[in-house]
Structure 1
Amino acid sequence: MSVATHPICPPFYFKGVHFMPLVDKRAVELVDSFEVRDDDVFVSAYVKSGTTWTQQIVSLIFAEGDISTVSKIPLMVRVPWLESIDIMGTGEPFPNVLKNAPCPRLMKTHLPYHLLPSQAKEGKGKIIYCARNVKDVIVSFHNMRTGAKDLPTGTFDENFQEFISPEQAYFGFWWDVVPEYWRHKDDNNVLFIKFEDMKRDLRGHVVKIANFLGKTLSDQRIDEVVTNCTFSAMKDNPAINFTKNPALKQKVTKDYEFLRKGEVGDWKNWLSEEQNQTLDAIYREKMEGVGLNFEFE
């Protein structure tokens, strides 16, 4: 397997949003004018909020649950990252690479809603947004930054302070990004789901996502999707957990397990009482009247 060299650039701002080096500035600049097809699917989430999980579900739904057809294809190839580059092939920004890709095109993105392709915001294609409680996001994001190569990082306290800063937070300020998607939850081309709900009822969410995508699967096929989308199944699958893939692990990680725990409530092992109170205060202020609630354990 050939892995292209990623041209690491410094963190950058685009239209007020702070991005990490893994994001390609050229790609971000191309997204707005990206031509969306009616059968395009965008799997969107704030970073470390269930993106990989949702990607695998969507990918298997399109494969009708047949894991044998996709098990040898890395997830980042099946569902490429729109605002990044093709590290498994051309090294080009994905908006350019995807121009000639066959239908249906499945893509992941961590972009805030207002930075999505204009045609997607106008109702073309389908957007599946997965949200996760902010406390677990902070912990998972810190662990990713600690273990991945070429990412700016720091102590947990330093990364925490950065996360709660609207100007410094990478991928946008969580309390702006998630409510923005929530406000579009009733759009015909948007499905808003939550990580915690999927943990509680995976099968029900596989059915919900399949219905949203207009896919009718038999009970047996649904069961196969569910079986192959449990955390343990994905953690052991090198096509999904790239740290099980020697070539990729050497390229992108120091000593890091990409799929670490996948739990609800791990924040209790990390946040100090003061940090927890700080998050609760921000949450009360920013989420008042939004109508979006999360389970934290």
Structure 2
Amino acid sequence: MNRSKFDFSSHPLLATSPHDCIPHLAAYMTDHNVEALPPPRLFASYSAYPLLPKSVRESSDCKIVYICRNPKDVFVSHYFFAMKLRPPMLPPISMEEAFDLFCRGVSEFGPYFEHVLSYWKANFECPQKILLLKYEEMRKDTVKHVKQLAEFLCKPFSAEEEREGVIEEIVKLCSFEKLTSSEVNKTGKVAFVPEMLIGNDNFFRKGQVGDSPNHLTPEMIERLDKITEKKLKGTGFTFGESKEY
């Protein structure tokens, strides 16, 4: 959306965390007037589709990009992230305990499958408003999905941009390797709310597909696979394949 405003050598993402570049909608709304921002406005949200503000869901001008991931990798990634942020005065939660909660739909953002399917249904009903992307497929062919994203946002790349390698430069700028090597993501902090500072390094672990078998037992994998099959039956939706390409 803003690629014409910055060059790659001095892009804000080189010195600013992604969470500061794209503020969280719920946190931003607590202290700011969203309407005061000039369009186009870009926000992040973890809310299920029905819980988004009515103005977001009903505005024909507001586009939504939703990224989902295989539930096994989602659980493992979220578990390690949550353990990093768990207050030291609280007892640790074992992976087995956390896994049972995940399987039963206990999550701060609601049951994972219902969360994904809420956007899948909305995407099916209004594809021009909602773009649903799968993390695994994005990893497999990032250039293809950056082009798809630009077209969805009505900001397609010109033939000249493609010849000059602009898409590849964007992919490089936003890559896991580039972000984790940035000093701001090694030492900086982000505040979702004033009293909650989180180190930027907590948001990065491996950035890989298919890490879950390294942490889940065969019995845990079988249980979650059965839940996945049951939850998705009859929906027409499938998750991306959980393996690195």
TM-score, structure 1 length as denominator?
0.69
**Counterparts of 1:97 and 1:76, CA distance in 2:** 18
RMSD over equivalenced CA pairs, Å: 2.5
Query: Which of 1 and 2 has higher RCO (CA within 8 Å, sep 6+)?
Result: 2
Matched, 1:173 2:115: no
Q: CA deviation at 1:248?
A: 4.9
Q: CA deviation at 1:238?
A: 4.0
Q: Note closer, same or farther for the CA distance 1:275–1:82 as it changes in structure 2 (3 Å cut).
A: same
8 Å contact kept, 2:25–2:45? yes
8 Å contact kept, 1:74–1:238? no
More helix by share: 2
Deviation string, structure 1 residues 63-115 (Cα, Å, up to 9, x no partner): 34733131333322221011225xxxxxx715x34332232211000000000
Q: CA deviation at 1:251?
A: 3.7
Matched, 1:106 2:78: no
8 Å contact kept, 1:66–1:224? no
Q: CA deviation at 1:150?
A: 4.2
- In structure 2, list runs of 5 or more residues that go unmatched: none
Deviation string, structure 1 residues 182-221 (Cα, Å, up to 9, x no partner): 1122412111110000000000011000111111331132
Q: Which residue of 2 aligns with 1:291?
A: 236
Superposed, 1:1-297 pairs within 5 Å as 61-64=1-4, 66-67=7-8, 68-70=10-12, 71-85=14-28, 93=30, 96-122=32-58, 123-150=60-87, 154-166=93-105, 168-186=106-124, 187=126, 188-217=128-157, 218-219=161-162, 220-239=165-184, 241=185, 244-248=186-190, 251-253=197-199, 257-294=202-239, 295-297=241-243
8 Å contact kept, 1:149–1:252? no
**Counterparts of 1:251 and 1:284, CA distance in 2:** 38
Secondary structure class of the residue paired with 1:137: helix
8 Å contact kept, 1:144–1:256? no
- In structure 1, list runs of 5 or more residues that go unmatched: 1-60, 86-91
Moved runs in structure 1, 4+ residues, more than 6 A? none
8 Å contact kept, 2:24–2:44? yes
Larger radius of gyration, structure 1 or 2?
Answer: 2
Count of residues in correspondence between the two structures: 225
Identical aligned residues as a percent: 30
